[in-house]
């Protein structure tokens, strides 16, 4: 056993947190991974019924490790857990579910070949291994729970055909079906639109109050935490950096706890749109009558040195458009790059410096490989097919990119050992480091990345644009688009319905488009 280090107790300086009795108490929790990683270094925390607790922290701070301990996926190296006044040892996820602990994880453990209702029914306690699954009751349960969530997939939807945001909703419904007393939502709203995130906040708050449930939301959205939670808890370097009542805490205090007081100036204030200078360059990407499943014929053009945003809810057609332009999915219509029609295959388009990257890191990484091998993977396409890889240059390149992008992990270690946010940094790093003139960035590229890493990635995108790249970016986060884009194309039902030009891009303008969609 390893002794716990004294935990930091950065007090809120405001109103005290709730005096409600604890449902789950964690006392000096330590988690170590051989040979020398200490993910948690003596964390003490009380989770109370009827409260929503927002758990924040930089990538690698120990948030997901703490969630896995609470849900029985992992066991602590030291420390004790008390649930409803009794000491407990959670030897498995089943043991946690049995006492009323459920979770929605950042990486969604759903079976792609099953329907939404079938996935909901998996893993319920008390279900015999050889029992017959009854589709009728399961379907009715799913429909009842899905009615609480805007645009939830239907019960017969095959999960493998759903977007990341839709899969998140299925995972949330599955967790609710277990009637939990304590619910952990680990980045469970990261791919939802801002309107859907607010609806989820309202739902979680209502569940906590009406069911006397303890809710923990793990997120990188500071404003969401301040507006949707009762308490703010920040972990940094495996220690407790802040435990405060949300009502008495500010954005600056949370940011200080997250960064240790060394936040870059670029994230000290909220991003805002504003007039931008036109590039004055001729169009480099010309899309004419592009059509594929999920997209009606759309046409637009992008200059070199310009970042154009795509905005709309999941399923609006933005992801399909990006994948079609990258050559990942078949399409009709013409895609011209620097005056030449692009060949149909994605590999041939990569050779012409057209590169796609998104926030679904599960499809972008080979988890059994090292960080370095994953980073070097695209270079096999960019170089001659007959070229023999140079191990020394690959190691040098990987170490340089790990350092440049502040990836918390060695180039030689398996990428599965990295936190989700650091895995995503690696995905983005290998794309931007190629220096391609056309970057197709989709499905919430910075999903799961902490506030400092997100600022770093945004800076690199801006550097790419300043260096003459053309960027087409899809995000459901208005603040991200307002910060980065010269123009924004608003999509609905597979069609471009509006363009927001320079000088008119703002969070308020984009949120207005969301409200127009939801109420019009």
Give per-residue pLDDT as tens, 258-274.
888 765 555 544 444 44
Q: What is the pLDDT of residue 381?
A: 59
Highest average pLDDT, of 250-259, 393-402, 420-429, comes from 250-259
| pTM for the predicted model, two decimal places | 0.69
For 6-33, how does the pLDDT look when each residue is reduced to its tens digit (9 = 90+)? 444 444 433 344 567 799 999 999 999 8
- How far apart are the C-alpha atoms of 62 and 239, rounded to whole Å? 8
Cβ-in-10-Å burial (0-12, 13-18, 19+) of 484 comes to buried
Average pLDDT over residues 322-332: 93
Q: What is the pLDDT of residue 274?
A: 40
Is residue 276 over pLDDT 60? no
Q: Reduced to 3 states, what is the DSSP secondary structure of residue 110?
A: coil
Is residue 338 over pLDDT 70? yes
Question: Is the distance from CB of 404 to CB of 375 less than 8 angstroms?
Answer: no
Q: Reduced to 3 states, what is the DSSP secondary structure of residue 332?
A: strand
Average pLDDT over residues 376-383: 68
- Give phi and psi for 285, each to the nearest 5: -110, 125
Q: DSSP assignment, residue 71?
A: T
Q: What is the pLDDT of residue 349?
A: 87
Which CATH architecture does the domain made up of 283-519 adopt?
Answer: 3-Layer(aba) Sandwich (3.40)
Structure tokens at 276: 């931008």
Structure tokens at 235: 């972990």
Q: What is the pLDDT of residue 191?
A: 64
The two beta strands, 306-311 and 470-474, are parallel
Q: Reduced to 3 states, what is the DSSP secondary structure of residue 401?
A: helix
Cβ partners under 8 Å of residue 159, min gap 6: 110, 111, 112, 113, 114, 115, 116, 119, 167, 170
Average pLDDT over residues 39-67: 92
Is residue 56 over pLDDT 90? yes
Which one is predicted more confidently, 197 or 39?
39
Is residue 293 over pLDDT 80? yes
Structure tokens at 246: 């949300």
Is residue 386 over pLDDT 70? no
Give which of 451, 361, 441 is closest to 107, Cα–Cα: 361
- How far apart are the C-alpha atoms of 226 and 247, rounded to whole Å? 7
Is residue 367 over pLDDT 60? yes
Give which of 392, 328, 385, 318 is closest to 355, Cα–Cα: 328
The two beta strands, 487-492 and 495-500, are antiparallel
Structure tokens at 141: 């349960």
Which one is predicted more confidently, 378 or 510?
510
- Which pLDDT band, with edges at 50, 70 and 90, does 516 fall under? low
Q: What is the pLDDT of residue 477?
A: 85
Pick from 184-188, 218-222, 406-410, 513-517: least confident: 513-517
Tell me which H or E stretch contains 347: helix 346-351
Question: Is the distance from CB of 503 to CB of 274 less than 8 angstroms?
Answer: yes
Is residue 5 over pLDDT 70? no
Q: Which fold has domain 1-100+219-262?
A: Rossmann fold (3.40.50)
Domain with CATH 3.40.50.300 in the chain: 1-100+219-262, 283-519
Average pLDDT over residues 272-285: 54
Which one is predicted more confidently, 466 or 129?
466
Highest average pLDDT, of 11-15, 78-82, 369-373, comes from 78-82
Question: Is the distance from CB of 292 to CB of 254 less than 8 angstroms?
Answer: no
- Percentage of residues of the chain with pLDDT beyond 70: 84
Q: What is the pLDDT of residue 27?
A: 96
Average pLDDT over residues 239-249: 94
Average pLDDT over residues 103-110: 76
Which one is predicted more confidently, 430 or 299?
299
For 341-365, how does the pLDDT look when each residue is reduced to its tens digit (9 = 90+)? 999 888 888 888 888 888 777 777 8
Highest average pLDDT, of 33-37, 200-204, 404-408, comes from 200-204
Structure tokens at 144: 């009842």
Q: What is the pLDDT of residue 244?
A: 95
Is residue 481 over pLDDT 80? yes
Highest average pLDDT, of 58-62, 275-279, 335-339, 364-368, comes from 335-339
Structure tokens at 313: 């809810």
Cβ partners under 8 Å of residue 277, min gap 6: none
Pick from 36-45, 73-82, 405-414: least confident: 405-414
- Which pLDDT band, with edges at 50, 70 and 90, does 474 fall under? very high
Q: How far is CA 362 from the centre of its chain?
A: 11
Q: What is the pLDDT of residue 18?
A: 53
Which one is predicted more confidently, 247 or 385?
247
Q: What is the pLDDT of residue 206?
A: 87
Structure tokens at 290: 């592009």
- Which pLDDT band, with edges at 50, 70 and 90, does 125 fall under? very low
Is residue 217 over pLDDT 90? yes
- Give phi and psi for 338, each to the nearest 5: 55, 40
Pick from 89-103, 202-216, 246-260, 500-514: least confident: 500-514
């Amino acid at each position: 056993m390893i002794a716990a280090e004294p935990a930091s107790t950065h007090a809120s300086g405001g109103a005290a947190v709730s005096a409600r009795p604890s449902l789950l108490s964690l006392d000096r929790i330590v988690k170590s991974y051989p040979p020398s990683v200490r993910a948690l270094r003596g964390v003490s925390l009380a989770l109370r019924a009827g409260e929503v607790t927002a758990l924040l922290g930089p990538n690698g701070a120990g948030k997901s490790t703490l969630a896995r301990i609470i849900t029985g996926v992992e066991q602590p190296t030291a420390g004790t857990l008390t649930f409803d006044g009794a000491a407990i040892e959670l030897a498995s996820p089943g043991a946690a579910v049995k006492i009323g602990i459920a979770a929605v994880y950042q990486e969604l453990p759903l079976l792609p070949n099953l329907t939404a209702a079938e996935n909901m029914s998996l893993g319920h306690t008390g279900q015999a291994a050889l029992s017959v699954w009854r589709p009728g009751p399961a379907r009715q349960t799913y429909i009842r729970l899905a009615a609480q969530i805007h645009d939830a997939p239907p019960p017969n939807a095959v999960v493998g055909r759903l977007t990341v945001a839709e899969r998140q909703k299925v995972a949330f419904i599955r967790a609710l079906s277990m009637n939990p007393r304590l619910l952990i939502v680990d980045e469970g709203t990261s791919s939802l639109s801002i309107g859907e995130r607010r609806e989820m906040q309202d739902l979680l708050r209502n569940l906590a109050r009406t069911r006397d449930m303890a809710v923990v939301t793990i997120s990188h959205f500071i404003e969401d935490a301040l507006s949707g939670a009762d308490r703010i808890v920040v972990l940094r370097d495996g220690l407790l950096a802040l435990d405060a009542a949300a009502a008495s805490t500010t954005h600056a205090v949370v940011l200080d706890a997250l960064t240790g007081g060394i936040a870059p100036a670029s994230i000290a204030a909220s991003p805002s749109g504003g007039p931008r200078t036109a590039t004055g360059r001729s169009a480099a990407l010309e899309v004419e009558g592009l059509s594929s499943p999920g997209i009606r014929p759309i046409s637009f053009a992008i200059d070199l040195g310009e970042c154009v945003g795509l905005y709309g809810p999941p399923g609006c057609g933005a992801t399909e458009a990006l994948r079609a332009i990258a050559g990942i999915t078949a399409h009709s219509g013409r895609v011209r790059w620097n005056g030449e029609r692009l060949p149909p295959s994605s590999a041939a388009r990569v050779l012409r410096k057209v590169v796609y990257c998104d926030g679904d890191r599960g499809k972008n990484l080979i988890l059994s490989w090292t960080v370095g091998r994953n980073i070097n993977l695209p270079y096999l396409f960019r170089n001659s097919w007959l070229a023999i890889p140079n191990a020394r240059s690959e190691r040098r390149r990987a170490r340089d990119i790990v350092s440049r992008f502040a990836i918390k992990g060695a180039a030689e270690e398996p990428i599965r050992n990295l936190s989700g946010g650091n895995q995503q940094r690696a995905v983005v790093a290998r794309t931007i480091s190629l220096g391609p003139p056309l970057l197709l960035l989709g499905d919430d590229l910075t999903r799961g990345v902490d506030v400092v890493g997100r600022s770093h990635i945004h800076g690199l995108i801006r550097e790419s644009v300043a260096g003459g790249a053309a960027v087409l970016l899809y995000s459901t986060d208005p603040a991200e688009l307002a910060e980065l884009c010269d123009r924004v194309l608003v999509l609905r039902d597979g069609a471009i319905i509006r363009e927001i030009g320079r000088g008119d891009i703002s969070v308020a303008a984009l949120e207005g488009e969301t409200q127009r969609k939801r109420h019009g």
